[in-house]
Structure 1
């Protein structure tokens, strides 16, 4: 990384308390993963305090440590520099912001209630033939994760596609301040996190914080399929709404095949065909966002068609696993009303004898929780789900929406797993969908062994 000690002190308003080596290659916040030549930032949380592990960090090869508490003797520190700051969490963000400003690369910021990760993957694919692209890894999309992604950038990259998540006001603002996006993308405005934000209008307001550090006339790319985003008008930016009829980036002639989706769209007034190795209409809308980003960065239609063939999708997100006895749809990473419905629609287009949905709790819906789970149960029934297996909270509401016949409630994931042999049949397609915290990958592992 191209950062000197004086720049670090300037960015953090820090003070050197122990003088030693100044060179470093990577930034780390976890002593378990420290490499030789690391800059270690000692974060604090409710159940941990990185300041207590400075001696261990130095022994493992940290050449610079940033602390906000002193729990060591200077004599214990050999050949490493220790910098004292007021708050290490703020220091992490401030240093990432300072480093981002030094980088001469384009940044695409992506947010939305659902579809952020898929859209990030699709944007990276659309750009991949023309540019060297970095994209957010896993779920490193919050005020700790995003700075760590920024620290992985260097001048060898042309474009960074950075995902931004939130659960309340001001969080996207802080992420945008660090990332300084050149292009902003919003996928949709759902009811995820409505427990904190109360209304979808407030969710829209929070998502629009992605523009707080967007330069004037920069592209703000929105899904025209969303009733809230379609109302956005802002003369400060180049607002582009994709998916609207009879305009560039509209949708025409969708075909859902066994392992891919084909569709036509209009780009620069010309009708073109795209094939993506993903299923579901929601992924077509996400692809339109990616294509719009590509054209704004000068990628040709042919280059984007080639790039889509190189799509690297994040695991556990609508991963379709063909087995000898049945088909598993692994979507265990996140769960919301929109994403559950999208997954059920994908399952509906798969060929199978029966369609089984194993669903867990959709989190952070507040007062909307009961109605949302009822609605998802009803949607499953209306879209040809033959068997519904439920565990977690609000299962009774989901069963009422579906109807009591062929809907079963379990008190735990392990109880559900133990009953799979009694419920699953050869030839079934099985959708496994829940928020990550419910650990539904245990169900995937059990099904994978059968």
Structure 2
């Protein structure tokens, strides 16, 4: 299914400045390195790059339609059959074009956002639904104003459901994503302090997350985790809101009788006071009970029973570097180095605390985008680790002193990831369980790689 040339022009507010009159395309791309034959190339412009400079390169690689914001080529250099469309803003055009494409799709869209747990929740939802439906889910970190439209263009009529992750750094971004994706059901995992550097307050973070409902009506459903203090404040008058939780609160759906194993979780689901079945999840961490409860509600809204969801779990494909358990002969690695925030740090520490080992060791690095909360947040995480009786903390990066203040006892510090990687082999003992976690920019996978080589 494709958009006709008039639909492309109308949706992007574009005008043809060179008409190739063929308009054939099979895909939409923003990166010339990924271009295939017969593709639309959208020339994005950022602080350090300008796709408008690469139009001729895009055409050589197979682009038949180019959407540009600047004319940086000679028209006589453009071969016949290629159409050039000019728009005011190519990033906006990408979102608007994906919106027009989404409107032609007869498919259920699940939008997943939150300060932490988006990816794990997305993975669990996709698995729960997979026994009954053909499901698409966001790949990697394609969850922003560039990535999400590309995920929408990956959809076609063979899919029944798409589970799309929605991230943000500031107000207005999830609004734009919701306008493009038009989710039928939205899930908010929690509201923490990730991105507080930009948004200043948790109230603003909640406001940004709630933008996922900006285009909701009475037929839409919002699923929220009311164990989170901020989400407990959501009004329920404009559309259906379903609440989940584990605490003794007003949650409509609760996780009870929770059993945490070294490599799995087992719990019962209580739906409006009725025990509706048991979930067996091959993931670790009590926080994944909450993620599973969110997924249960989505499944229920799509007419699934708990038995259907348990069958779907067999198809679970968890995203890498998120609480991956790697068992070596002499020690165990918990690879959770994809990203980090105070909430996800504490959840990972809970996982480490629940496992059996001779020594429980934390290797922690910087949590970014916390602004004026940075020092307190790093100190607080280390204090939490101390309260959970973690044996040793290895701190890396600029907030090592804050980790030291919070942990107080056995702590070793390194200035850089490289320095830690070079020395880690001398610090590991037989029987250790080692958790590695930091924000993505710290590149802690280098430490994981070094440990794997021991």
Q: Which residue is equivalent to 1:311?
A: 316
For residues 213 and 52 of structure 2, the distance between their equivalents in structure 1, rounded to whole angstroms, comes to 35
Choose which of 212, 218, 238 in structure 2 pairs with 1:236. Answer: 238
SS at the partner of 2:362?
strand
For residues 300 and 362 of structure 2, the distance between their equivalents in structure 1, rounded to whole angstroms, comes to 38
SS at the partner of 2:253?
coil
Is 1:437 matched up with 2:441?
A: yes
Q: Which residue is equivalent to 1:33?
A: 34
Mean Cα deviation higher: 73-82 or 319-328? 73-82
Is 1:144 matched up with 2:149?
A: no
Cα distance per residue 1:231-272 (max 9 Å; x no partner): 212200111111264865212111111211111112473341
For residues 31 and 102 of structure 1, the distance between their equivalents in structure 2, rounded to whole angstroms, comes to 27
For residues 426 and 186 of structure 1, the distance between their equivalents in structure 2, rounded to whole angstroms, comes to 41
Shift of 1:380: 1.0
Asked if 1 retains the 8 angstrom alpha-carbon contact of 2:278 and 2:306, the reply is: no
Instruction: Please give the residue correspondences for 1:120-269 in structure 2 after superposition, counting only pairs within 5 Å.
Output: 120-243=122-245, 245=248, 248-267=252-271, 269=274
| TM-score between both structures, scaled by the size of structure 1 | 0.97
SS at the partner of 1:251?
strand
For residues 421 and 221 of structure 1, the distance between their equivalents in structure 2, rounded to whole angstroms, comes to 45
Q: Which residue is equivalent to 2:292?
A: 287
Aligned length: 449
Shift of 1:217: 4.1
Asked if 2 retains the 8 angstrom alpha-carbon contact of 1:22 and 1:63, the reply is: yes
Instruction: Please give the residue correspondences for 1:294-443 in structure 2 after superposition, counting only pairs within 5 Å.
Output: 294-403=299-408, 405-443=409-447
Asked if 2 retains the 8 angstrom alpha-carbon contact of 1:348 and 1:384, the reply is: yes
For residues 173 and 364 of structure 1, the distance between their equivalents in structure 2, rounded to whole angstroms, comes to 21
For residues 308 and 60 of structure 1, the distance between their equivalents in structure 2, rounded to whole angstroms, comes to 40
For residues 6 and 247 of structure 1, the distance between their equivalents in structure 2, rounded to whole angstroms, comes to 48
Asked if 2 retains the 8 angstrom alpha-carbon contact of 1:377 and 1:401, the reply is: yes
Shift of 1:215: 2.4
Unaligned runs of 5+ in 2: none
Q: Which residue is equivalent to 2:18?
A: 18
Q: Which residue is equivalent to 2:64?
A: 63
Asked if 1 retains the 8 angstrom alpha-carbon contact of 2:425 and 2:450, the reply is: no
For residues 325 and 402 of structure 2, the distance between their equivalents in structure 1, rounded to whole angstroms, comes to 28
For residues 358 and 123 of structure 2, the distance between their equivalents in structure 1, rounded to whole angstroms, comes to 32
Asked if 2 retains the 8 angstrom alpha-carbon contact of 1:217 and 1:238, the reply is: yes
Shift of 1:391: 1.0
Displaced runs of 4 or more, over 6 A: none
Shift of 1:75: 2.2
For residues 24 and 56 of structure 1, the distance between their equivalents in structure 2, rounded to whole angstroms, comes to 17
For residues 22 and 216 of structure 1, the distance between their equivalents in structure 2, rounded to whole angstroms, comes to 39
For residues 234 and 138 of structure 2, the distance between their equivalents in structure 1, rounded to whole angstroms, comes to 27
SS at the partner of 1:208?
helix
Cα distance per residue 1:155-176 (max 9 Å; x no partner): 1111111111112111111111
Is 1:54 matched up with 2:58?
A: no
For residues 429 and 377 of structure 2, the distance between their equivalents in structure 1, rounded to whole angstroms, comes to 29
SS at the partner of 1:389?
strand
Asked if 2 retains the 8 angstrom alpha-carbon contact of 1:248 and 1:265, the reply is: no
Asked if 2 retains the 8 angstrom alpha-carbon contact of 1:168 and 1:206, the reply is: yes
SS at the partner of 2:412?
strand
For residues 397 and 100 of structure 2, the distance between their equivalents in structure 1, rounded to whole angstroms, comes to 43
Cα distance per residue 1:83-121 (max 9 Å; x no partner): 111111111111011111111111111111100111111
For residues 74 and 197 of structure 1, the distance between their equivalents in structure 2, rounded to whole angstroms, comes to 44
For residues 88 and 371 of structure 1, the distance between their equivalents in structure 2, rounded to whole angstroms, comes to 40
